[in-house]
Amino acid sequence: MGSSANKLVVAMVGLPASGKSTVAAKLRQCLEAEGVTVGLFNNGDVRRSMCQGQDTSCASFYAPDNAEGAALRENFARVNMERAAAFLESGGEVAVLDATNVSEKRRRTILEKLGRWPVFFLECVNRDPELQAASIARKAQLPEFAHMDTKEAQDCFRERIRYYERIRAPLDGGVENFVVLNTLDNSIERERVQAVLPHYRLVRDLLVSDWVRNLYLARHGETFHNLENRIGGDSDLTAKGLVQAQSLAWHFRETPLPYVFTSTRKRTLQMAELLCRGREDCLVIPLPELDEIDAGVCENMTYAEIARDMPEVHEERTRDKYGYVYPRGEGYATLRERVERGVRKALYLSGNAENIMIVGHQAVNRTILSHFLYRRTEDVPHIYIPQDRYFHIVSTPSRKVFELVKFG
């Protein structure tokens, strides 16, 4: 049995679609990798189990003035707390309560029921409207919304969020130990920890660290612009590029790929279309943050044309390829912020998926790799990005993997 000194209750807090369940799952995986016994207790699972045959997906079930619904929700919470207590009493070390827990009343109940052990509240916030919309769209595809059309399910979920916003209270009142986490940026916005909490140093490090289980980073196949040595644009894949796309798809034929992220450019979308063809569960999500570097006035030009017609551009870029910014365009230095945002969006939207793929571009993939490889800025524009290989990246607190794999 685990020592009582190692026992901890982690109570998730946050509105629906704020990333709570993803963070909770990461906590469990991270702690279990360190030999800690972790139990994950999700109120939604209890609701679905205890209310089979009842429609608890409609927004009115979550209305604060729905006395019957409120009583049922409190019962679900109590059941989960009792299960968490039994888990800790029988040798478990960390119990994670995965629920909204946004009201002061609910948090007082948690402290009353489980306060014999240290309790740590972890609030997840997501203020990005685009990401919230994408999260709602994903939630609306859950089986409990199968009897609704897409718009009805999404509207229902938004109304559920509004109901929770009405009872939401800040963590400051009556809570001794808490962290408020921005789940997009992996940044801690507020923190108050007044007790010595078991496992806290490990948990805190996880919250602000990259968490990538298996990221496959590929570049689009050969394009007509590649043949002509032109930069930028929106060229199609050549016949060779289509063969490379098919080779990538064949290489991953037995690997589940629930999410494939691309830029908005045709060449990456064509790669993704072949990659996901014939798969039932493979969602392609184009992100403009992953578009290739904007060459401004030099878009669609060849490097030879730039050297001939814009010698000052050619010379300045040759002197500082990383810091140079194309006129009315971008450079590696200005590209980094939007690409890192794109990667964070991809990781957020994929939840805790075992495998995800990004099909990107040369400069974009160099920027992504530099984040994980910590390369010197002056070396980033020279990272090798072939079109017949992909990078496999694992980055968790307990495991780091980086390998270049040939698929052609």
Q: Pick from 208, 227, 257: which residue ends a domain?
A: 208
- Within this chain, do residues 204 and 222 fall inside the same structural domain, yes or no? no
Rounded to whole angstroms, the Cα distance separating 207 from 204 reads 5
Q: What is the CATH number of the domain that holds 114?
A: 3.40.50.300
- Within this chain, do residues 76 and 224 fall inside the same structural domain, yes or no? no
- Within this chain, do residues 52 and 166 fall inside the same structural domain, yes or no? yes
- Within this chain, do residues 177 and 230 fall inside the same structural domain, yes or no? no
- Within this chain, do residues 203 and 312 fall inside the same structural domain, yes or no? no
**Do 394 and 354 contact (CB within 8 A), yes or no?**
no
The β-bridge relationship of strands 177-182 and 119-125 is: parallel
**Please, is 135 exposed, middle or buried when counting C-beta atoms within 10 Å of its C-beta (0-12, 13-18, 19+)?**
buried
User: Which residue do the tokens 């189990």 mark?
Assistant: 49
User: Is residue 3, in this structure, part of any structural domain at all?
Assistant: no
Q: What is the pTM of this model?
A: 0.86
Displacement of CA 6 from its chain's centroid (Å): 29
* Backbone φ and ψ of 196, nearest 5°: -85, 105
Rounded to whole angstroms, the Cα distance separating 325 from 339 reads 16
Residue positions annotated with a catalytic role = 219-220, 226, 267, 292, 361
- How many domains would you assign to the chain? 2
- Within this chain, do residues 184 and 225 fall inside the same structural domain, yes or no? no
- Within this chain, do residues 225 and 181 fall inside the same structural domain, yes or no? no
SS3 label, residue 392: strand
SS3 label, residue 402: strand
Contacts of 21 (CB under 8 A, 6+ apart): 12, 42, 98, 351, 352
- Within this chain, do residues 181 and 311 fall inside the same structural domain, yes or no? no
Along the 408 residues of the chain, how does pLDDT read in single tens digits? 445 689 999 999 999 999 999 999 999 998 998 899 999 999 989 998 888 777 788 889 999 899 999 999 999 999 999 999 999 999 999 999 999 999 999 999 999 999 999 999 999 998 888 888 888 888 888 888 888 999 999 999 999 999 999 999 999 877 899 999 999 888 999 999 988 999 999 999 989 988 899 999 999 999 999 999 999 999 999 999 999 999 999 999 999 999 999 999 999 999 999 999 999 889 999 999 999 999 999 999 999 999 999 999 999 999 999 999 999 999 999 999 999 999 989 998 898 899 999 999 999 999 999 988 878 899 999 999 999 999 999 998 778 899 999 997
The pLDDT of residue 3: 57
- Within this chain, do residues 195 and 232 fall inside the same structural domain, yes or no? no
User: Is residue 74, in this structure, part of any structural domain at all?
Assistant: yes
Q: Pick from 208, 232, 257: which residue ends a domain?
A: 208
Q: What is the CATH number of the domain that holds 265?
A: 3.40.50.1240
Rounded to whole angstroms, the Cα distance separating 280 from 287 reads 21
Concatenated DSSP letters of 159-190: HHHHHHHHH---TTTT-SEEEEEETTTTEEEE
* Structure tokens belonging to residue 290: 């992953």
**Do 171 and 120 contact (CB within 8 A), yes or no?**
no
Contacts of 278 (CB under 8 A, 6+ apart): none
Alpha carbon distances (Å) from 37 to 7, 94, 116, 193, 260: 9, 6, 18, 23, 33
- Within this chain, do residues 249 and 172 fall inside the same structural domain, yes or no? no
| Amino acid identity, position 195 | A
- Within this chain, do residues 165 and 266 fall inside the same structural domain, yes or no? no
User: Is residue 34, in this structure, part of any structural domain at all?
Assistant: yes
Q: Pick from 180, 208, 236: which residue ends a domain?
A: 208
Structural domain of 242: 212-406
Alpha carbon distances (Å) from 170 to 45, 77, 298, 353: 26, 20, 51, 30
User: Is residue 308, in this structure, part of any structural domain at all?
Assistant: yes
User: Is residue 357, in this structure, part of any structural domain at all?
Assistant: yes
Alpha carbon distances (Å) from 130 to 15, 135, 356: 16, 9, 20
User: Is residue 330, in this structure, part of any structural domain at all?
Assistant: yes
User: Is residue 1, in this structure, part of any structural domain at all?
Assistant: no
Maximum Cα–Cα distance across the chain: 76
SS3 label, residue 389: strand
Q: Assign residue 191 a region (left: φ > 0; alpha: ψ between -120 and 50; beta: otherwise).
A: beta
* Structure tokens belonging to residue 346: 């991809």
**Do 232 and 299 contact (CB within 8 A), yes or no?**
yes
- Within this chain, do residues 218 and 201 fall inside the same structural domain, yes or no? no
Concatenated DSSP letters of 27-80: HHHHHHHTT--EEEEEHHHHHHHHTTTS---SGGGG-TT-HHHHHHHHHHHHHH
